[in-house]
């Protein structure tokens, strides 16, 4: 189901077709198996890199495709409709570490890290949250102190997507001192690599959904970080992270739409095939109304996302609107996947059928990259200012 509401260009149609063919061949057939095993498939990184899908928004100078946000989000929806775990790896990489490096990196940092990231030789991750700092992101405690030209870092990052396989992690770390805390202004961004002395990958989380996307703690135990690994200006890391999350939250919106679309399509096909009381259940108005509401919310979320993404491409984003997309699309995905289980009835609750995975995968879209409550804070602040 894809209306032409959004006036797709030939290039965008080709991107959708490429993403769909890739997902059909390399992702969809294995998604259930990876989910059960909690397996991250490393070959996907190189394959997505070969397609250009790990540098979709990057300039061609750094081996990126130099595409607009809408084209990227269309590709991401296709991948998410096949497997939400693969989609979050692609979304985090394209939206957070690569965007931060591109926006704030020196030419030398970009040459060293961005081009291999675009080619899929280095997978990117983003480390902001900590065990005691989730929604209250400026309360992070990971601490860097100067040692000559280097920084020595102590602390733990939590819930880092792709952390087991990441070759580059953009981490937000305090560079103020415990004696003179500056909340969000005391945080700097650093480019970390797993070879830094004192860097270890900690506990891998056992999750409800997105089980094929590894989520880990990162432990910094006297980690020595060369001074030239600071990204941008000292003390600006929190603001950079918030700006990058605006890309990230559009990505998670596309992921939510992909998950919901897969659930809707499964429910529709099942309703046409399943017979009760002598007829396909799709002929009962009660089921049709459910499908009608699912399709309506899905189409509304996609229309909102593409309107906001087009505004982003034109540089005319209205404050709060990215959060509106993330809030609406993630709550839509949770609702649509819940309805899909209901259409499947008892079978929907069984692992043999696909919809319970969509439901488990959808839940985290209401939590990561800012909970629904955080999105309401951002929207609430934006709309309650004098216009
Ligand atoms: N762009 C630019 N600057 C921004 C900004 C943005 N989008 N958002 C905030 N800032 C600036 C503010 O203007 C402010 O600067 P001044 O002090 O100069 O005015 C500064 O940053 C601090 O902002 P706030 O006062 O708004 O900060 P706050 O402490 O009240 O927090 C918040 C606001 C919205 C709750 C924020 O902390 C937040 O978004 N929390 C959620 C964090 C989050 O999304 N975490 C996701 C983890 S990443 C993840 O999940 C990735 C993954 O792996 C899947």
Q: Which tens digits make up the pLDDT trace of 327-378?
A: 999 999 999 999 999 999 999 999 999 999 999 999 999 999 999 999 999 9
Residue with CA closest to ligand 1 atom 53: 161
Q: Which tens digits make up the pLDDT trace of 73-85?
A: 999 999 999 999 9
CA-closest candidate to residue 91, choices 194, 245, 241: 245
SS3 173: strand
Within the chain, what is the greatest distance between any pair of CA atoms? 79
Residue with CA closest to ligand 1 atom 22: 184
Over range 2-12, report the average pLDDT. 75
Tell me, in angstroms, the distance from the centre of ligand 1 to residue 239's CA.
Answer: 7
SS3 235: coil
In this prediction the pTM is 0.97
Task: List Cα–Cα distances, 159 to 5, 15, 190, 280, 343, in angstroms.
Answer: 37, 31, 18, 44, 33
Q: Which of 184, 241, 325, 375 to mutate to test the pocket of ligand 1 (most atoms within 8 A of CB)?
A: 184
What's the chain's average pLDDT? 97
Residue with CA closest to ligand 1 atom 52: 161
Question: Is 135 close to ligand 1, i.e. is its CB under 6 Å away?
Answer: yes
pLDDT at position 339, please?
98
Residue with CA closest to ligand 1 atom 44: 370
Ligand 1 atom with minimal separation from the 139 CA: 29
Tell me, in angstroms, the distance from the centre of ligand 1 to residue 172's CA.
Answer: 12
Tell me, in angstroms, the distance from the centre of ligand 1 to residue 313's CA.
Answer: 22
- The model's confidence at residue 4, banded by pLDDT at 50, 70 and 90, is low
Q: Which tens digits make up the pLDDT trace of 235-269?
A: 999 999 999 999 999 999 999 999 999 999 999 99
Cβ count near 265 (within 10 Å): 16
pLDDT of 202 strictly over 70: yes
Positions annotated as catalytic residues are: 369
Tell me, in angstroms, the distance from the centre of ligand 1 to residue 184's CA.
Answer: 8
Set out the domains of the chain in order of their start, with CATH numbers.
Answer: 5-123 (1.10.540.10), 125-235 (2.40.110.10), 239-384 (1.20.140.10)
pLDDT at position 310, please?
95
Question: Is 126 close to ligand 1, i.e. is its CB under 6 Å away?
Answer: yes
pLDDT at position 5, please?
53
Ligand 1 atom with minimal separation from the 252 CA: 54
Question: Is 370 close to ligand 1, i.e. is its CB under 6 Å away?
Answer: yes
State how far the Cα of 159 lies from the Cα of 124, in Å rounded to an integer: 14
Over range 88-105, report the average pLDDT. 98
- The model's confidence at residue 96, banded by pLDDT at 50, 70 and 90, is very high
pLDDT at position 239, please?
98
Q: Which tens digits make up the pLDDT trace of 285-339?
A: 999 999 999 999 999 999 999 999 999 999 999 999 999 999 999 999 999 999 9
Tell me, in angstroms, the distance from the centre of ligand 1 to residue 7's CA.
Answer: 33
pLDDT of 52 strictly over 60: yes
pLDDT at position 219, please?
98
- Residues 321 and 308: beta-carbon distance below 8 Å: yes
Question: Per-residue DSSP letters for 5-72?
Answer: TT---HHHHHHHHHHHHHIIIIIGGGHHHHHHHT---THHHHHHHHHTTTSTTS-GGGT-----HHHH
pLDDT at position 72, please?
98
Question: Is 366 close to ligand 1, i.e. is its CB under 6 Å away?
Answer: no
Tell me, in angstroms, the distance from the centre of ligand 1 to residue 242's CA.
Answer: 5
- Residues 90 and 252: beta-carbon distance below 8 Å: no
Ligand 1 atom with minimal separation from the 136 CA: 37
Ligand 1 atom with minimal separation from the 161 CA: 53
- Residues 383 and 324: beta-carbon distance below 8 Å: no
Question: Is 218 close to ligand 1, i.e. is its CB under 6 Å away?
Answer: no
Question: Is 138 close to ligand 1, i.e. is its CB under 6 Å away?
Answer: yes
Percent of the chain with pLDDT over 90: 97
pLDDT at position 126, please?
98
Over range 177-205, report the average pLDDT. 96
Tell me, in angstroms, the distance from the centre of ligand 1 to residue 59's CA.
Answer: 26
- The model's confidence at residue 387, banded by pLDDT at 50, 70 and 90, is confident
- The model's confidence at residue 3, banded by pLDDT at 50, 70 and 90, is low
State how far the Cα of 52 lies from the Cα of 54, in Å rounded to an integer: 6
pLDDT at position 386, please?
81
Residue with CA closest to ligand 1 atom 3: 239
Question: Is 133 close to ligand 1, i.e. is its CB under 6 Å away?
Answer: no
pLDDT of 2 strictly over 80: no
Residue with CA closest to ligand 1 atom 31: 136
pLDDT at position 12, please?
96
Tell me, in angstroms, the distance from the centre of ligand 1 to residue 136's CA.
Answer: 8
Question: Is 213 close to ligand 1, i.e. is its CB under 6 Å away?
Answer: no
- The model's confidence at residue 192, banded by pLDDT at 50, 70 and 90, is very high
Question: Is 295 close to ligand 1, i.e. is its CB under 6 Å away?
Answer: no
pLDDT at position 205, please?
98
Over range 221-240, report the average pLDDT. 98
Over range 129-133, report the average pLDDT. 98
Residue with CA closest to ligand 1 atom 5: 242
Over range 212-236, report the average pLDDT. 98
Over range 11-17, report the average pLDDT. 97
């Amino acid at each position: 189901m894809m209306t032409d509401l959004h006036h797709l260009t030939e290039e965008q149609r080709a991107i959708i077709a490429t993403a769909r063919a890739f997902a059909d061949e390399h992702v969809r057939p294995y998604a259930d198996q990876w989910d059960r095993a909690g397996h991250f498939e490393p070959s996907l990184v190189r394959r997505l890199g070969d397609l250009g899908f790990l540098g979709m928004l990057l300039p061609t100078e750094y081996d990126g495709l130099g595409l607009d946000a809408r084209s990227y989000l269309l590709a991401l929806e296709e991948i998410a409709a096949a497997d939400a775990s693969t989609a979050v790896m692609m979304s985090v990489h394209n939206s957070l570490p690569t965007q931060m490096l591109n926006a704030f990196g020196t030419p030398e940092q970009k040459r060293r890290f961005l081009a291999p990231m675009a080619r899929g030789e280095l997978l990117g991750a983003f480390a902001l949250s900590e065990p005691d700092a989730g929604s209250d992101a400026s309360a992070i405690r990971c601490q860097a102190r100067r040692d000559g030209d280097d920084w020595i870092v102590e602390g733990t990052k939590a819930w880092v997507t792709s952390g087991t396989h990441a070759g580059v992690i953009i981490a937000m770390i305090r560079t103020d001192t415990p004696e003179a805390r500056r909340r969000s202004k005391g945080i700097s961004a650093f480019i970390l690599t797993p070879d830094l002395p004192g860097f270890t990958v900690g506990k891998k989380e056992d999750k409800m959904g997105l089980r094929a996307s590894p989520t880990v703690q990162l432990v910094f135990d006297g980690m020595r970080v060369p001074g030239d690994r600071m990204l941008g200006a000292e003390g600006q890391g929190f603001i950079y992270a918030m700006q990058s999350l605006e890309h990230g939250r559009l990505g998670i919106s596309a992921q939510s739409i992909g998950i919901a679309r897969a659930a809707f399509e499964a429910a529709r096909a099942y309703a046409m095939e399943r017979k009760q009381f002598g007829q396909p259940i799709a002929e009962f108005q009660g089921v049709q109304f459910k499908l009608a509401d699912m399709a309506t919310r899905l189409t509304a979320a996609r229309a909102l996302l593409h309107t906001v993404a087009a505004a982003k491409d034109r540089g005319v984003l209205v404050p709060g609107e990215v959060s509106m997309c993330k809030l609406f699309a993630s709550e839509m995905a949770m609702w649509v996947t819940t309805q899909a289980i209901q259409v499947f009835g008892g079978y929907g609750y069984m692992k043999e059928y696909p919809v319970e995975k969509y439901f488990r995968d959808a839940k985290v879209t209401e939590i990561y990259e800012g909970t629904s409550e955080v999105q309401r804070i951002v929207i609430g602040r934006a709309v309650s200012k004098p216009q």
